[in-house]
Amino acid sequence: MATVPYIFNGVQGGATIPLSELDANFAAIGPTAGSPTMTTGFTYIPASSGVPTGTPTGTPTGTVPMYFDTAINKLFIYNGAAWVGITLS
C-alpha cells in the first residue's frame, strides 16, 4: 500500500479527529478553514491530459470519483453511469 503525505481528517464539534472516528454525518477533507493565501492543506484529485474513459470500481456509497483533464481544463465527476464534465476558465 502506498503512503500519502497527508491524512484525511474530519471536523466534529470544533475538534479535528481522524476520519475513522468521525460520525458519518460530518466530513471535511483538508484543513478546517482555508484562506486565499494558503500554501498547504489542499485536497488533491487525480489529473492528467485526456478525457477519462475508465469505469470506476469500488466507489463507496454516497461518494463520486473526480478527475481533472489538464489539456482542456475540465473537471470530471463520474455519476455512476458516465463521466460528466465542467469546463473551468
Phi, psi of 67 (to 5 degrees): -155, 145
Q: Is the whole model's pTM more than 0.85, yes or no?
A: no
- Tens-place pLDDT, residues 4-54: 333 444 444 445 555 555 555 555 566 667 788 988 878 888 999 999 999
- Predicted local confidence at residue 55, as pLDDT: 96
- Tens-place pLDDT, residues 50-67: 999 999 998 888 888 999
C-alpha to C-alpha distances, 62 to 45, 52, 59, 80, 82, nearest whole angstrom: 17, 21, 8, 11, 16
Query: How do the domains of the chain map onto residue ranges?
Result: 1-35, 47-87
